[in-house]
Structure 1
Amino acid sequence: MDGVVWFGILGPLEVTASGRPVTVAGRSQRELLAVLLLRANRPVEVDFMIDSLWPGRSPPSARRQIQNSVGRLRRTLVAGGVPATTLETRRGGYLLRVLPGELDALSFARHVESGRRLAADGRADDEAARLRAALALWGGRPLAELDSPVAVAQARRLLEDRTAVLEECVALELRLGRHHEVMGDLKTLVEEHPLRERPRALLMTALHRAGRTAEALEEYRRARATFVTELGLEPGAELRDLQHAILTGALDAPPAPRADRTRPRQLLPDITDFTGREDLADRLETLLRTAGTATGVVVAAVAGQAGVGKTALATHVAHRVSASFPDGQLYVDLGGGQARPAEPVEVLARFLRALGAQGHEIPPGLEERAEQYRSAVAGLRMLVVLDNAVDEAQLRPLLPGTPGCAVLVTSRSRLAGLSGMVLVELGVLEGGQAVDLLARIVGTGRVEAEADAARDLARLCGHLPLALRIAGARLATRPDWPLAELVRRLADERRRLDELTYGDLEVRAGLSFSHARLSAASRRLFHLLGHLYAPEFASWVCAALLDTTTDGIGPLLDELVAAQLLQPSGTGRARYRLHDLVRLFARGSGSEDPRPAIARALGGWLALTERAHIAVSGGDFATLHSDAPRWTAGLPDLPADPLAWYDLERLNLMTAVHQAATAGLDELCWDLVASGYTLFLTRGHNDDWEETLRAALTCTRLAGNARGTATMLMGLGLLGTYRHDYAGAAEALEESMRLFREIGERQGLVYALGVAAHVDGMLGRYDHAVALHEEALEVHRASGDLGAEVLLLRSLGQLLVEIGRLEHARPHLERALLAGRDGDRRVHAEVLYWLGQLHLAAAEVGPAESAFKDMLAIAEDLADPREEAEARYGLGLVRLNTGALGAAAGLFRQALALNRPLGEPLTEGRIRTALGILHCRNGQPRQAIGHLTEAAGIFDTIGIPLWSGRAYRALADAREAHGDRTAAHAARKRALTLFTSVGAPEAADIAGPDADRPP
């Protein structure tokens, strides 16, 4: 990357700033960014964006959505470190400004153009290097995760450009005699483009020059068969002439290799079971092959923790590029994982002897040997592999001094002090790659026979290659062991590192060496981090563990990262994580009691979660808290977007709850869940919410904590309402209210009564629901909780609107609207929704539209799809009431699309009921029946009799319009039964002397 900012579209869409990824979440924002990048440095009109994102079907609010999306995208980029001036607002549109070194597509074009200029000067080697540099920028199919027509079309164009450049490059390299190196590229090209003649001709040439003439001719026969079968044509003149030249020996021979007196070949044997890492291997190979045309020595380094496979990768890549270094390959293990690393002066003596120097010709001092070594390799094409390097001081004397040579380094350190070096960070294998490596060691059949155990084994090894090789070696020598036996042994965390030992291979040994070199402060932090459950963490967590400020934490983190005992998380921020096996080692690396430190870290998460809840809600409304201590001494400010913070910390919040429960910190545990419910709810993470509720409930019950237990039961009741499990919600709320009454917790009782009243209303128990609301309001007057008052007034107003008592509902909702203007914005949006429904039911169309529009503005600003779906549904009802059926249909479909990923059945049922009524009015009874049948099924499943009755009543009208009077009568009878069962006034609309009489 040439700049601080980097945009990638030649593969999956990516953004980095100062080397750290910037997460652009959401398909719509990624599609928008892709459109801007594809037209980088050119103004993009809003109309073009609309056509790109909604081809042929743009919503009425498309311009406002574009404006909002650009605003969110700009905030995301700036928060990630991208300069604010990168995304500019222009008249009628926007412009994304990037430099050539900040967008891979522009860098690709720049390299290709430069290569072609060099070709005009007759510099073929330099041209090939430029073209290879261009091709190295590719990371797969362009914009692979996006499917808009613009992205797909542009991806096709970019891929065509890449194919043309690759053909140009391999043709040039063939002329330079690099037929072995281009074989893989050519075979891939032929597979991807079987009907292109040029790749076939180049592959035949490469095979012939590699001494594989029979295969070259066989390739011609395959090409002819493909062309005749697919096109009904013979191959073109180029292929036919090439076949003739090969048969007659007229094809030019490859250039002769350079012959020298001493050519060392010191590489370790290639890795026969090399698995995964293909992308990294390709990247390193491409880089090393530029040594012949680079202006200086090419240096690449592979950094990673002990056992991650650095040597295996380096060895494999070195063998792949060895033909590009005809003057030899030097190798040395510098002993970075040993008590006594290799001294550079000793290594230079070995290198000089390998290059032909006699013992008496080797000078005694380091500087003299380094000078002689650089002179010996000057002008040569030499590859030097420096394995297990300790630091830059050990490496510098071993680097060649002139172009043509390349150096490949492996180290547990990042070696940032070597200028011009390209660093590759090596992580653990992916899950599938780990299982593949295991299969190569113990046999595919054995792994396939115990596929689940193989995956468990790979997971318990942390996908670490060394651990996998040890496990594989143990299994290979014990063919009588099932894989499940080793899984059982590794499942015990206390024994896992002891089990991962075989011969001279041991996971613990490599970690122990790195640990021994740490300072005392870093060792203490490392030990405490081992006891933390969080999968990743920010630097403030380390400050909490040590009970200090963040000022002195940076050097300790840098030391742990440099020792490869701590890894940057890769989320684009200053966050870190421990490998699972490293975590186990860390726990046993010290003797300090970790409990006070862990309590401080959990107290920090509680403080930040509470702040995020307040920021999202607009205040601390309808939430109980405990007296658990918060740790705030070194806590950072909450980001401007609290939901983005929550997205980053969600897994940490869940693990914090579980860790607090395990540690018996019951007050902290339940407060974490209570403070986080707004965040879980806004993002629709109901499963996470339930998991944490139940963990905290178990913890508070064991501790005899009645207040915490009642609060968690209330949370389960509230969750039940969102899941429409009203029976389960009622059971939890009954116990919650009992406990709150027993301990005299009036504020908690208000909340629980309000939720219970809502549950009764949804079940059709209207009288009881009204009574619970009145009790809750009476208790509330003593507590003075404004947030609770708004919730209760909204809930009572909703209930009264649903049962048609509009004038009773109006004062409650208007009071809730006034009282909640500065409160929880999500609750305020719900108040607006039910005011809109009240206005609609009272035929007040203008006020209804205004209420739904205000709700939509809040929902879009909160980026809350649940509330946005409800708002668009409400606006659709307004259009339906005014006869604007086309506009209504569009709004209902938008609402349905927003709700689909949420899986909210009540909302879907309501929308489908409205769509059924719309199709019936539009003279489309068949479509109406489909929507209404589905809606009725939804309401029946979740047990909401009032809405079931409404769906069946509308279905009866659709059946009647379709000419099926018998089915219409059955639906109408079902609606009457449901309305009557709950005392709904709508029963009177369909009741009459003939209501039960069949047609």
Structure 2
Amino acid sequence: MLRGFRLRVGWTQEELAERCGISVHAISVLESDRRRPRLSSVSRLVDALGLDSGERDRLIAAGTGRAKPDDTGTAGPAGAPAPQQLPADLSDFTGRTQQVNQVRELCEARLDRTGVIVLSAVVGAGGVGKTSLAVHVGHGLRPRFPDGQLYASLRGMTTPARPVDVLDQFIRALGGHPAAATDSEDATAARYRTLVADRRILIVLDDAADAAQVRPLLPGTTTCAVLITSRHRLAGLDGVARIDLDVMSPADGLTMFERIVGAQAVAAEPEASWQVLRACGGLPLAIRMAAARLTAEPGWRIRTLADRLADRSRLLDELEVEDRAVRATLAVGHQRLTAAQARAFALLGRWTGPELGVEAAAALLDRSVADTGAVLRDLAAVHLLTSPSPDRYAFHDLVRTYAAEQPVDGQAEAVRRLTGWYLHCVDAAMPYLRSTPLRLDLASSESGRPALRFADRVAAVAWLDLEHANLVAAVECAGGAGAADIAWRLPVLLGNYFLLRGRWADWAQTCATGLAAARATGDLHGQCRVLNGLGGVLVRQGRPADSAACLREAVEISRAAGVTSAEIAALSNLGYTYGEMGDLDGAVEAHLAALELSREAEERFSEGNLLGNLSRIAFLRGDFTQAISRCEQAAAIFLAIGDHHTHAMVLNNLGEIHSAAGDHPTAVSYLTEAVRRHRELDNRHMQADALVTLGNALCLNGQPAEGRQRWQQALEVMESADDPRTGTLRSALADVTPQTTGLSL
């Protein structure tokens, strides 16, 4: 009888011994009936096995020799106790309220409906809590299934259990005679269905490998419910209601952590607790392992664990306690991959961006788009990847860490293929953002795969918006993989996009990475180009002194390298920065030097840009006549070369100058046209600028209501673009009074 109860919960003698505090030898002796147990030992066994009062009495009777022949559970179905095979429920089960209710409703709603079997597959990645959810729900449903609960681990991700063996286990638990060696699977399944017919039994099939493994285990009548967990979709099962489990919400993760570690400890170190939870990425198993580490190390504070988890190279090592580990759980799925899938998984782990589209992944893996799509779908099917949107794939952070641990040949080449592909795609988009080419000579960064082509400006900017976080990651990956030429060229190409969207932090970060890569390889051309971009963004971040230092270095390196276009750009940006610092004489000197070089080299874009900058200096000096003249010359050049983006920016300047000169109607006209152009070009940063300046001009022109309306529109545009100036403008608008005639950013 003791052996039957032990096997019912699926434990070995060693596992039972550990749970009840009785030696393995003693349990072996009891199961072989060589010695009668002490009553205290029986009590321990009862508690460990979760026996009800009737089962307890039968076990005591058997141990004292007072059991009747049919009390041992071997007399057949009529005399057999109802099987209670569910593993113990978690005392600290947390969250999953929606999924718990959904599974309960599915298991309860269709009972007794003719011809219907309720099947509910709970699918998700390893460690996401599928088994915990199934067991928790199963315990809650016990009153609805008085004839018992059957449970089997199908070991789908290791060595899958044979259906005939599981059937035999179930038949024994139901009081039936063991299957004979000569019985076929069909015959054994028929006996099983006979035993469960017209009985209310909950059947939990944990970790199913596929539909073929599950089908023989399904009952044939409508009084039973079947709850299946699997890492696969089990698409071959008909009538299955699928419930996908994702990671836990931050709130539920914190609650679980508190229940294990203690609310007082978490309250004492809230920031460290959140750092631990962020490192765990919402994966329930990881949260449990982190909490268990604190339990196992009483001298540790939560900060100790948070600091250890911050080291990505040791992250999975830290999430391991005794025989349980996040790495081991992930390894179960990884071991079942084909060689091609395993190689793709390892190479994808070298990518640090938030996600990848199929075309980008094809460049990384050096496979066709069709083959790549198939591999990515296979990895997503076993939850080693997620698919946040069609044809786009992403890692859970812990899975990415595990993937990056896997050895693979050709990883540097793979990263170069991907980042080179991104470089060429950005190059294809840039003509829609600037009228003059940057002439970066991309031949050395050729990815070997065709870049994307864009139908128009809208498509190009939409792709850049979609991929901007990946493009920032591409710079970092290229720098880390030794692809210095790509690491510095990408931020140079992306400068106009960062300017368009006001992404100053991304611009500064990528320039710093590109500069380090160019310096490491002694590439003077790369250094001067990236220093120029870095100087441009630093002044926009309110760091003019740092900007000037970068740009002076850029001028020196450009001259040494003989890169005239870079020298012109550096002098131009240096003049702008001097102007922001209040050094107008230095600004004029730098701009005039750049203007002379531009005219010698017939660089029309640079000439127009420098005229605009000189106009700005004249404006700051109060010489509105010269400011307007310079600005009109710049506008004519940009219009002639077809640079509508910069032409619209010059219209902003003309409006501001006319307004300062007291010609408010002309200012309103220029600024209204500038707003229209920026809106057409989807330049939200400059559109917001123009709207604020237009609002000022309207107020000064005796139209305060219209002016305030334009300020409000500017705020809406900033909010839509996640503009860093949004808070400043919102605060300024809160202080507006009927007497307010101007706002500044």
**TM exceeds 0.5?**
yes
Q: Which residue of 1 aligns with 2:335?
A: 516
Q: Which residue of 1 aligns with 2:187?
A: 368
Match of 1:872 among 674, 691, 697: 691
**2: distance between equivalents of 1:437 and 1:874?**
52
**1: distance between equivalents of 2:562 and 2:687?**
39
Change over 3 Å in CA distance of 1:768–1:906 after alignment to 2: farther
Q: Which residue of 1 aligns with 2:291?
A: 472
1:759 pairs with 2:587: no
1:669, CA displacement in angstroms?
A: 1.0
Q: Which residue of 1 aligns with 2:403?
A: 586
**2: distance between equivalents of 1:488 and 1:881?**
57
Q: Which residue of 2 aligns with 1:320?
A: 140
**1: distance between equivalents of 2:655 and 2:79?**
88
CA contact (8 A) 2:508 2:538 kept: no
CA contact (8 A) 2:445 2:485 kept: no
In the TM superposition, what whole-angstrom CA distance separates every residue of 1:330-362 from its partner, at most 9, and x where no partner exists? 221111132x21111222233334444344799
**2: distance between equivalents of 1:872 and 1:370?**
75
CA contact (8 A) 1:525 1:542 kept: no
Give the fraction of aligned pairs with identical amino acids, expressed as a percent: 36
1:597 pairs with 2:425: no
CA contact (8 A) 1:329 1:384 kept: yes
CA contact (8 A) 2:665 2:701 kept: no
Match of 2:486 among 665, 668, 671: 668
Q: Which residue of 1 aligns with 2:713?
A: 894
1:557 pairs with 2:376: yes
Q: Which residue of 1 aligns with 2:499?
A: 681
1:297 pairs with 2:113: no
TM-score (ref. length: structure 2): 0.80
State the one-letter code of the partner of 2:637.
A
1:435, CA displacement in angstroms?
A: 4.1
State the one-letter code of the partner of 1:602.
T
Q: Which residue of 1 aligns with 2:68?
A: none
1:756, CA displacement in angstroms?
A: 2.0
1:337 pairs with 2:157: yes
CA contact (8 A) 2:118 2:225 kept: yes
**1: distance between equivalents of 2:419 and 2:407?**
21
Change over 3 Å in CA distance of 1:505–1:886 after alignment to 2: closer
CA contact (8 A) 2:111 2:224 kept: yes
1:816 pairs with 2:637: no
TM-score (ref. length: structure 1): 0.61
CA contact (8 A) 1:540 1:635 kept: no
CA contact (8 A) 1:548 1:633 kept: no
**2: distance between equivalents of 1:479 and 1:737?**
59
> Which runs of 5 or more structure 2 residues have no equivalent in the other structure?
1-77
1:745 pairs with 2:563: yes
In the TM superposition, what whole-angstrom CA distance separates every residue of 1:626-660 from its partner, at most 9, and x where no partner exists? 66413251544458533433333232222222222
**2: distance between equivalents of 1:400 and 1:760?**
82
Match of 2:127 among 307, 311, 314: 307
In the TM superposition, what whole-angstrom CA distance separates every residue of 1:230-257 from its partner, at most 9, and x where no partner exists? xxxxxxxxxxxxxxxxxxxxxxxxxxxx
Q: Which residue of 2 aligns with 1:702?
A: 520
1:602, CA displacement in angstroms?
A: 1.3
State the one-letter code of the partner of 1:549.
S
Q: Which residue of 2 aligns with 1:960?
A: none
**1: distance between equivalents of 2:470 and 2:178?**
61
Change over 3 Å in CA distance of 1:335–1:718 after alignment to 2: same
**2: distance between equivalents of 1:345 and 1:817?**
83
1:406, CA displacement in angstroms?
A: 2.8
1:747, CA displacement in angstroms?
A: 0.5
Q: Which residue of 2 aligns with 1:614?
A: 431
837-846 or 501-510, larger mean C-alpha shift: 837-846
1:652 pairs with 2:473: no
1:710, CA displacement in angstroms?
A: 2.1
Change over 3 Å in CA distance of 1:823–1:429 after alignment to 2: farther
Change over 3 Å in CA distance of 1:862–1:395 after alignment to 2: farther
CA contact (8 A) 1:337 1:510 kept: no
Q: Which residue of 2 aligns with 1:153?
A: none
Structure 1 moving runs of 4+ over 6 Å: 259-262, 360-363, 909-912
**1: distance between equivalents of 2:716 and 2:160?**
62
1:436 pairs with 2:255: yes
Change over 3 Å in CA distance of 1:873–1:456 after alignment to 2: closer
Q: Which residue of 1 aligns with 2:447?
A: 631
State the one-letter code of the partner of 1:308.
V
State the one-letter code of the partner of 1:346.
D
**2: distance between equivalents of 1:842 and 1:450?**
59
Change over 3 Å in CA distance of 1:352–1:701 after alignment to 2: same
State the one-letter code of the partner of 1:694.
A
**1: distance between equivalents of 2:253 and 2:492?**
39
C-alpha root-mean-square deviation of aligned residues, in Å?
Answer: 3.5
Match of 2:245 among 409, 422, 426: 426
In the TM superposition, what whole-angstrom CA distance separates every residue of 1:5-55 from its partner, at most 9, and x where no partner exists? xxxxxxxxxxxxxxxxxxxxxxxxxxxxxxxxxxxxxxxxxxxxxxxxxxx
Per the alignment, in what secondary structure is the counterpart of residue 886 of structure 1? Answer: helix
1:798 pairs with 2:619: no
Per the alignment, in what secondary structure is the counterpart of residue 902 of structure 1? Answer: coil
1:777, CA displacement in angstroms?
A: 1.9
**1: distance between equivalents of 2:459 and 2:699?**
36
State the one-letter code of the partner of 2:347.
L
1:724, CA displacement in angstroms?
A: 3.7
668-677 or 643-652, larger mean C-alpha shift: 643-652
Match of 1:566 among 385, 388, 408: 385
Per the alignment, in what secondary structure is the counterpart of residue 207 of structure 2? Answer: strand
In the TM superposition, what whole-angstrom CA distance separates every residue of 1:798-834 from its partner, at most 9, and x where no partner exists? 3334444444344543343343346454322211212
CA contact (8 A) 1:801 1:834 kept: no
1:873, CA displacement in angstroms?
A: 2.9
1:311, CA displacement in angstroms?
A: 0.5
1:509, CA displacement in angstroms?
A: 3.1
**1: distance between equivalents of 2:574 and 2:135?**
67
**1: distance between equivalents of 2:660 and 2:584?**
19
Q: Which residue of 2 aligns with 1:10?
A: none
Change over 3 Å in CA distance of 1:857–1:344 after alignment to 2: same
CA contact (8 A) 2:434 2:496 kept: no
Change over 3 Å in CA distance of 1:844–1:599 after alignment to 2: same
**1: distance between equivalents of 2:632 and 2:322?**
78
1:282 pairs with 2:101: yes
State the one-letter code of the partner of 2:578.
D
CA contact (8 A) 2:488 2:526 kept: yes
1:387, CA displacement in angstroms?
A: 0.3
Q: Aligned ranges for residues 377-396 of structure 1 at < 5 Å?
A: 377-396=196-215
1:736 pairs with 2:736: no
Change over 3 Å in CA distance of 1:870–1:438 after alignment to 2: closer
State the one-letter code of the partner of 1:301.
A
1:495, CA displacement in angstroms?
A: 4.6
**1: distance between equivalents of 2:332 and 2:670?**
67
CA contact (8 A) 2:257 2:287 kept: yes
Q: Which residue of 1 aligns with 2:50?
A: none
1:378, CA displacement in angstroms?
A: 4.6
Q: Which residue of 1 aligns with 2:544?
A: 726
1:352 pairs with 2:171: yes
**2: distance between equivalents of 1:294 and 1:679?**
61
Per the alignment, in what secondary structure is the counterpart of residue 292 of structure 1? Answer: coil
1:847, CA displacement in angstroms?
A: 5.1
**1: distance between equivalents of 2:578 and 2:312?**
48
**1: distance between equivalents of 2:494 and 2:127?**
39
Instruction: Using CA pairs under 8 Å that are at least 6 residues apart, name the structure with larger relative contact order, 1 or 2.
Output: 2
CA contact (8 A) 1:730 1:759 kept: yes
1:375, CA displacement in angstroms?
A: 4.7
433-442 or 736-745, larger mean C-alpha shift: 433-442
**1: distance between equivalents of 2:586 and 2:112?**
85
1:675, CA displacement in angstroms?
A: 1.6
